[in-house]
Amino acid sequence: MTGNFKIMNMKRPLKLLAAAGMLLAASPFNNAMSFETGFYDDLRNSSWHDGFVFYHPEKHTKNAKSLRFAGGTMHEGGYDVTLTDFKTKNGKVTGGTVKSEFSEDKQAQLVITEGNGKKYSMLHIKDARGRLIHIYNPLDKNVADVWGTRLIDLNNVYLTLRGRYLDNKGNLYVFTLGDLTDNLKEVKDPSSLNPAEREDGCILITPAGTERLEFAEEYDFTVPVFKMDGIYVEARPTVKGLEIRYIRDFDDIRNPEGTPAEGIYKMLYPSPDTPRVLFTSDQVINEGLLGHYDYQTLRLMRNEIMARHGYSFKSPDLQSYFDKTSWYQPVSQDIKLSPVEKINVELIKLAEDRKKQEEAAEEAQ
CB within 8 Å of 69: residues ≥ 6 apart: 23, 48, 55, 56, 57, 58, 80, 81, 82, 83
Give the pLDDT mean for 203-212. 92
Tell me how far the alpha carbon of residue 317 is from its chain's centroid.
Answer: 26
- pTM value is 0.85
pLDDT at position 143: 58
- With bands split at pLDDT 50, 70 and 90, how would you rate the model's confidence at 16? very low
pLDDT at position 190: 62
Domain 293-364 in this protein, CATH class: mainly alpha
For 196, the 3-state DSSP assignment is: helix
- With bands split at pLDDT 50, 70 and 90, how would you rate the model's confidence at 194? low
User: Backbone dihedral region of 303: left (phi > 0), alpha (psi from -120 to 50 degrees) or beta?
Assistant: alpha
- With bands split at pLDDT 50, 70 and 90, how would you rate the model's confidence at 13? very low
- With bands split at pLDDT 50, 70 and 90, how would you rate the model's confidence at 32? very low
Q: How many C-beta neighbours within 10 Å does residue 336 have?
A: 7
Q: How many C-beta neighbours within 10 Å does residue 324 have?
A: 9
Q: Summarize the chain as % helix, strand, coil (round to 5).
A: 25, 35, 45
Task: Identify the CA nearest to 134 among candidates 99, 106, 100.
Answer: 106
Q: Where along the chain do the CATH 1.20.58.1690 domains lie? A: 293-364
Identify any residues that bridge with 138 across adjacent strands, giving them in sequence order: 48
pLDDT digits (tens, 9 = 90+) for 76-134: 767 788 999 999 999 889 999 999 877 899 999 998 888 777 788 888 999 999 998 88
User: Backbone dihedral region of 85: left (phi > 0), alpha (psi from -120 to 50 degrees) or beta?
Assistant: left
- Would strands 216-218 and 172-179 be described as parallel, antiparallel, or unpaired? unpaired
Task: Identify the CA nearest to 290 among candidates 130, 107, 159, 163.
Answer: 159
pLDDT at position 253: 85
CB within 8 Å of 96: residues ≥ 6 apart: 43, 67, 83, 84, 85, 86, 87, 107, 108
pLDDT digits (tens, 9 = 90+) for 226-241: 999 999 999 999 999 9
Considering only CA atoms, give the Rg of the chain: 21
pLDDT at position 33: 35
- With bands split at pLDDT 50, 70 and 90, how would you rate the model's confidence at 180? confident
Task: For residue 297, give Cα distances in angstroms to 241, 244, 294.
Answer: 9, 16, 5
| Span of 160-174, 191-205, 243-257 with lowest mean pLDDT | 191-205
| Span of 145-154, 193-202, 241-250 with lowest mean pLDDT | 193-202
How far apart CA 42 and CA 328 sit, in angstroms, is 41
**Does the pLDDT value for residue 265 go beyond 50?**
yes
- Torsion over CA: 7, 9, 12, 15 (sign): positive
pLDDT digits (tens, 9 = 90+) for 336-365: 999 989 999 999 999 999 999 999 898 888
Judge whether 246 and 259 are in contact, CB under 8 Å. yes
Q: Measure the CA dihedral 244/249/250/256, to 10°.
A: 100
